[in-house]
Each structure stands twice: as C-alpha cells, then as structure tokens.
C-alpha cells in the first residue's frame, strides 16, 4: 500500500469521490474528517441529477455541457458501485418534468426546450393533455418541459458507495478535525489536526460549507454556507413515481415519501428549520399536486450548501500555493458534480490535464490580479 501522498479535508460525497478517483490511479490517500456534523450538505440533499432541468444561466459558457458530462459520469459510476460494493444508490432515472403553471412559465420553458434541442440534447415539450395523462394528480398545467435523461439518486447511499469503494482501493480515514494547513515557503506540507501533523505532498480542500474554516489558507475563501430546507410528505397513493418541478421548487419520490425542496437562505451556519420555510414548501407541494395540500409533514430538515459568488464550484489548484487543491463550493450541484470533480482532481494531480474543459470552475477566477496574497486566513 502506498504511503500518504494526498490528504483530503472533508468526508462528504465530494471528499470520498476525490479519494476514490486518486486511489484508483495508485495514489496514497487519507481523508481527514471527524465524522457527521449537523447541517452537512450530503445527507440533507435531495440527490438531484438535474443537469438540463436546472440549466438556467446561459451566460456561463460550457457549464451546461459540464453538467451533462457530470450526469453521465455519475450514472456510470452509480451502476458500477453496485458491482464493487453491493450498495444500491437508489437511482431514479425516469426523467424530470418542469410544469408550466402560467403563460410566462410556458414561454420560458418552451424556449429552454428549443435551445437544448438545438444543442443536440434530448428535451421535449409536453402539452397539457400529455401532462395530465402522465401525471393525473398534478395541478392543471399549460404543458411541461420534459428531460428524459435527468433524474436523481439517494445521496447518502452514493456517499456510502463511494466511501466503500474508496476504502476498497486503499483510502484511509483519519477521524479527526483538520485545523490548519502546514506550509513551508510556498509549498503545502500537510495539515494540522487535533492529534498533530499529518504530512502529505498535496492537500485537497473538500470540506463543503466549512472549507473556509481551515486556518492558514493563502487568502479568504469565497465559499459561504447557504441553508436549504426541505420537508417530506406522503407520496400520493396510486401515483407513479415522478420528479416534478413547479412553483419555484420540486417534488421527488423516495421510498414512500415526497421530498419537497428547497429554500436558499443566507443565514450563516444556522441549520435550524423554520415555520415560514415549512409553509413555503407546503405551498410548492400544493401547487404541483393539490392533494398534498392537507398532507401531514413527516419530516423537516435543513442542510448547509457551500456557495460561491457565481454559484459554481472551485475545482483545481491554488494559483500560488503549491500542493493546495480545491474541490468545494458546489452549491446546489454537489451530488451531480461529485464524481466528475473527483475525476478532474485526480487527472490534474496525475497528468496536469483535466478530462473536460473545467475552466469555468477555476479557483483563481475571483482573484486573477496576479498579485501574491501574503496575509494568511486565520
């Protein structure tokens, strides 16, 4: 077994995806993570693979293509994890329908379908009759944008599968909290934990919303927590499982429940739930499937997404501190981008070349002045 060459800070789905990808290339990897923390993003996530459904911002060239590539990479990995670990990640790939509940939404969604079809992607416009036939319990709609290749999976199962596969190929777990980088001149030498120094040639920061709390980073990290609240209601009887977007949110079937999400709240590290959010989420459910209007709330929870100013993750090397790598800031798309993030990090560390054009995710995009930052964070 190789010695530890790379330390990954963070044991969520991103950290284990990076560890697995590195270890399969022969790298000695340790993941430093104390264990589950309240508000962590992975277990609170819905697990959406909504690469096309949530492709709203065409001002970011190449991002849609990256998300589609991430979806395909995740689907392949999800299936292979069952073979290598026996873990079923709960893949649901029956497509996603985004309902047009008014005229404005219809225009917007029709345009999105047309644009994606021009790009060679599969997308369909369903008229009102087709929507009612497919999902008779939904509210009257003017139609729907339907993406047959989008879907979802169980994020907790995906994380468990990635961890089991990573450990199978030699990744070690160090159940401690990383406190600070260890740096000599402009080279990372490892991380300081509660138990002392863990040496490594490279450090990958994948601690989600808590990434900025690692001390001695070369500059303040543009990653902040964004609270997302969700509720679970009973899935309607006699209705086939379907992922439905509408009224500013979505409904996702998982086992016997309808997961309804999700808020986007800038409240720091507060992961408590609120009555106002529950009321808003119930309104989404009622607008999409009216029969859920009086359904009892089975569960209500919140997680903290790591969000950057432009909503895109930081993936790649630090521009000035050798050996420091970022895999954080994934926002709403942590599950979708997790496996691809691992592949990008592993290939960059091994060959210097990413498997895709990930320029939109460059960590230096917020500070390209070329000046060296001498004041450490913390």
Q: Which regions in the chain score pLDDT beneath 70?
A: 1-3, 56-61, 368-378
Q: What is the predicted pLDDT for the residue at 371?
A: 38
H helix intervals, 127-269: 128-134, 155-168
Residue appearing with tokens 């902040």: 224
pLDDT of residue 4: 76
What pLDDT score does 58 carry?
Answer: 54
- pTM, to two decimals: 0.94
Q: Are strands 143-147 and 124-127 parallel, antiparallel or unpaired?
A: antiparallel
The pLDDT value given to residue 55: 82
Are 32 and 176 a contacting pair, CB within 8 Å?
yes
- Show the CA angle centred on residue 329, arms to residues 228 and 6, nearest 5°: 130
What is the C-alpha separation between 44 and 36, in angstroms, rounded?
Answer: 11
Q: What is the DSSP string of 308-324?
A: -TTS--EEEE-SSSBTE
Task: Report the alpha-carbon distance of residue 69 to residue 67 in Å, rounded.
Answer: 5
Question: In the 8-state DSSP scheme, what is residue 219?
Answer: S
**Do the strands 243-246 and 224-234 form a parallel or antiparallel pair, or are they unpaired?**
unpaired
- The pLDDT, as a whole number, for residue 39 is 95
pLDDT for the residue numbered 376: 37
pLDDT at 238: 83
Go through 222-254 and write b for each residue having 16 or more CB atoms within 10 A of its CB, e for each that does not. bbbbbbbbbbbbebbeeeeebbbbbbebbbbbb
Strand, helix or coil for residue 79? helix
- Please choose, from the candidates 364, 28, 42, 83, the residue with its C-alpha nearest in 3D space to the C-alpha of residue 206: 42
DSSP run (H or E) holding 144: strand 143-147
Cα 120–Cα 121–Cα 127 angle in degrees, nearest 5: 115
The Cα–Cα gap between 351 and 292 comes to 52
- pLDDT score at 62: 84
Q: 24 Cβ partners below 8 Å, 6+ apart?
A: 169, 346
């Amino acid at each position: 077994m190789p010695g530890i060459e790379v330390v990954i800070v963070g044991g969520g789905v991103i950290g284990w995806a990076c560890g697995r990808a590195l270890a399969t290339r022969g790298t000695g990897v340790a993941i430093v993570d104390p264990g589950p923390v309240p508000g962590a993003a992975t277990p609170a996530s819905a697990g959406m693979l909504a690469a096309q459904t949530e492709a709203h911002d065409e001002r970011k060239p190449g991002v849609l293509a990256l998300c589609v590539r991430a979806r395909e990479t995740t689907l392949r990995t999800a299936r292979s994890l069952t073979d290598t670990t026996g873990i079923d990640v709960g893949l649901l790939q029956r497509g996603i329908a985004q309902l047009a509940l008014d005229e404005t939404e219809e225009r917007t969604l029709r345009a999105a379908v047309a644009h994606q079809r021009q790009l060679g992607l599969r997308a369909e416009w369903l008229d009102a009759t087709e929507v009612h036939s497919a999902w008779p319990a939904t509210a009257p709609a003017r139609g729907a944008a339907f993406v047959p290749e989008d879907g979802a999976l169980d994020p907790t199962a995906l994380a468990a599968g990635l961890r089991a596969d990573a450990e199978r190929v030699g990744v070690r777990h160090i159940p401690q909290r990383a406190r600070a980088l260890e740096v000599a001149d402009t080279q990372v030498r490892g991380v300081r934990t509660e138990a002392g120094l863990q040496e490594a040639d490279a450090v990958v920061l994948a601690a989600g919303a808590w990434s900025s709390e690692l001390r001695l980073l070369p500059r303040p990290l543009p990653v902040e927590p964004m609270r997302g609240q969700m509720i679970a209601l009973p899935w309607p009887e006699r209705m086939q499982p379907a992922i439905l977007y509408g009224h500013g949110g979505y409904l996702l079937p998982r086992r016997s429940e309808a997961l309804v999400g999700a808020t986007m709240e800038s409240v720091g590290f507060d992961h408590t739930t609120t009555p106002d959010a529950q009321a808003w989420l119930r309104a989404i459910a009622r607008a999409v499937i009216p029969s859920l209007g009086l359904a009892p709330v089975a569960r209500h929870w919140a997680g903290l997404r790591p969000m950057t100013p432009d909503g895109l993750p930081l993936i790649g090397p630090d521009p000035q501190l050798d050996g420091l790598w970022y895999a954080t800031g994934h926002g709403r798309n942590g599950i979708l981008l997790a496996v691809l993030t691992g592949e990008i990090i592993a290939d960059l560390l091994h060959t210097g070349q990413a498997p895709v054009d990930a320029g939109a995710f460059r960590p230096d995009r917020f500070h390209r002045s070329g000046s060296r930052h001498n004041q450490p964070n913390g």
